[in-house]
Amino acid sequence: MLNLQEIHKPTTLADALKLLQQPNTIALAGGTQLLADKRRDVRAVVDLSALGLTYIREHEGAVAIGATTTLAMLAESPILRALANGVIAQAAHRSTSSILRHQATIGGTLIAEPAGILAVALVALDARVTIVGTDTRTMPLVEFLPARASLLRGALVTEITVPLTNPRATIESVARTPSDKPIVCVVAAARIENGVARAVRIALGGVSETAWRAHAAEQTLEGQSLDTARIEEAARVAARDVSPPGDFRGSAEYRKEMARVLLRRAVSALS
Ligand SMILES: Cc1cc2nc3c(=O)[nH]c(=O)nc-3n(C[C@H](O)[C@H](O)[C@H](O)COP(=O)(O)OP(=O)(O)OC[C@H]3O[C@@H](n4cnc5c(N)ncnc54)[C@H](O)[C@@H]3O)c2cc1C
């Protein structure tokens, strides 16, 4: 049972931050995690929906996405469908079921599902997060995810930006059903110049607490042609480096093997 006594709906960021200083008060975006968790300790929520943080626009060489933009908006956005082979739009679509996609926001999803497919796609595309509290700071999403609990004390995620470098990108996932969350997922991105891979980025989900960058596998491929033997080696290196958790969706051994298989498929599809 929820123990909610107050719902605030501020129209300015300053008011929202002030309200969040009160004890037992948390931010409310789509509210799907709050409803599912039924936290007894939460006495008040600060609804973020009137803060003007729902948008997807191109700005200063990046795509800027407001924190309260829903997964459905991401999945349907012409800007995101045209960026990096549409992997962010596809990741939003594969994140969860249709009903939840219309409710859940990008900010809430990155916080609630830091190893989920949306986080993975954004990490692979070098996304950055803007956090506003006593000051404003922008940092790489991959650094924000493991530190999010401490970074968000009295602060809010306001925006996610993705550079408009527009690499070639691919997405692979395995799930129990099409609307269930992926057990393991991989997003690979690179520029292919004269048959050689540059700026290789590979991120995986379902293999650690938060979206994970496969740095050693990236280095195996950087500046190389993507031939079968090299891709196989990169996949082997990534699988060697992960220590996935096991749960009812998939054992640790299954996840390790899927990391290898999906990485091989994702990188093969880049060329
Ligand atoms: C029935 C059900 C099925 C689900 N199935 C799946 C699934 O298949 N795959 C999957 O990946 N996930 C699944 N989820 C989880 C779901 O994806 C998350 O609950 C959802 O993405 C959270 O987004 P939200 O906008 O509703 O966040 P909320 O629930 O509103 O917030 C989540 C957390 O983030 C905080 N927060 C939100 N926005 C901000 C912000 N801008 N700044 C600071 N803090 C913020 C909130 O205070 C809260 O702690 C499921 C959830 C439910 C209830």
Which residue CA neighbors atom 26 of ligand 1 most closely?
A: 30
Q: Please tell me the distance between residue 25's alpha carbon and the centre of ligand 1 in angstroms.
A: 16
Least Cα distance to 124 among 84, 76, 184 occurs for 84
The answer on 159 and 174 residing in a single domain is no
Residue 215 domain flag = yes
Residues 60 and 35 in one domain: no
Distance 106 CA to ligand 1 centre (A): 9
Which residues, other chains included, contact 155 with Cβ-Cβ below 8 Å and sequence gap of 6+? 17, 20, 131, 132, 133, 134
| Structural domain includes residue 33 | yes
Name residues whose C-beta falls within 8 Å of residue 52's C-beta, 6 or more positions apart in sequence: 66
Task: Indicate if 153 and 180 belong to the same structural domain.
Answer: no
Cα–Cα distance, 157 to 128 (Å, whole number): 11
Evaluate whether residue 1 is within a structural domain.
no
Ligand 1, pocket-test mutation among 4, 55, 71, 100, most atoms within 8 A of CB: 100
12/73 same-domain check: no
Among the atoms of ligand 1, which is closest to the Cα of residue 106? 25
Dihedral class, residue 223 (left if φ above 0, else alpha if ψ from -120 to 50, else beta): left
Q: In what helix (H) or strand (E) does residue 256 lie, and over which residues does it extend?
A: helix 252-268
Residue 111 alpha carbon to ligand 1 centre in Å:
7
State whether 88 and 121 are in the same domain: yes
- Whether 161 is in the pocket of ligand 1, judged by its Cβ within 6 Å, is no
Q: How many CA atoms lie within 13 A of 32 on its CB side?
A: 21
Are 42 and 74 in the same domain?
A: no
Total number of domains in the chain: 3
Our mutation pick for probing the ligand 1 site, out of 32, 69, 97, 160, counting the most ligand atoms within 8 A of Cβ, is: 32
Which residues make Cβ contacts (< 8 Å) with residue 234, sequence separation at least 6? 202, 214, 217, 218, 220, 221, 263, 264, 267
Break the chain down into helix, strand, coil percent, rounded to 5: 40, 25, 35
Structure tokens at 65: 């996405």
Q: Do 172 and 159 fall into the same domain? A: no
Q: What is the pLDDT of residue 34?
A: 84
Confidence (pLDDT) at 181: 85
Residues 66 and 155 both lie in one domain: yes
Across-strand partners of 159?
A: 66, 130
Instruction: Select from 143, 163, 183 the last residue of a domain.
Output: 163
Residue 128 lies in a domain: yes
Whichever domain contains 255, its CATH number is 3.30.390.50
Compute the C-alpha angle 159/188/224, nearest 5°. Answer: 130
30 Cβ inside 6 Å of ligand 1: yes
Say yes or no: 159 and 220 in one domain: no
Question: 16 alpha carbon to ligand 1 midpoint, in Å?
Answer: 19
With residue 130 as reference, give the H or E element that holds it: strand 128-132
Residues 157 and 194 in one domain: no
CATH label of the domain that carries residue 128: 3.30.465.10
Q: What is the pLDDT of residue 227?
A: 95
Residue 26 falls inside a structural domain = yes
From 163, 182, 215, give the residue that closes a domain. 163
CA of 116 to the centre of ligand 1 (A): 11
Please give the pLDDT value at position 230: 97
Instruction: Assess whether the C-beta atom of 253 lies below 6 angstroms from ligand 1.
Output: no
Alpha helices in 104-170 (DSSP H): 106-112, 117-124, 141-151
Task: Evaluate: CB of 111 within 6 angstroms of ligand 1.
Answer: yes
Q: Which two tokens stand for residue 114?
A: 């830091």
77 and 176 assigned to the same domain: no
Regions of the chain with pLDDT less than 50: none
What pLDDT, on the 0 to 100 scale, is given for residue 1? 62
| Residue-range definition of the domain harbouring residue 65 | 56-163
- Expressed in angstroms and rounded, the spacing between residue 115 Cα and the centre of ligand 1 is 13
Instruction: Determine, yes or no, domain membership for 243.
Output: yes
Cα three-residue angle 253-256-258, rounded to 5 degrees? 110
The answer on 172 and 132 residing in a single domain is: no
Q: Which amino acid is at 145?
A: L
CA–CA separation, 40 and 225 (whole Å): 55
- DSSP, collapsed to helix, strand or coil, labels residue 126 as coil
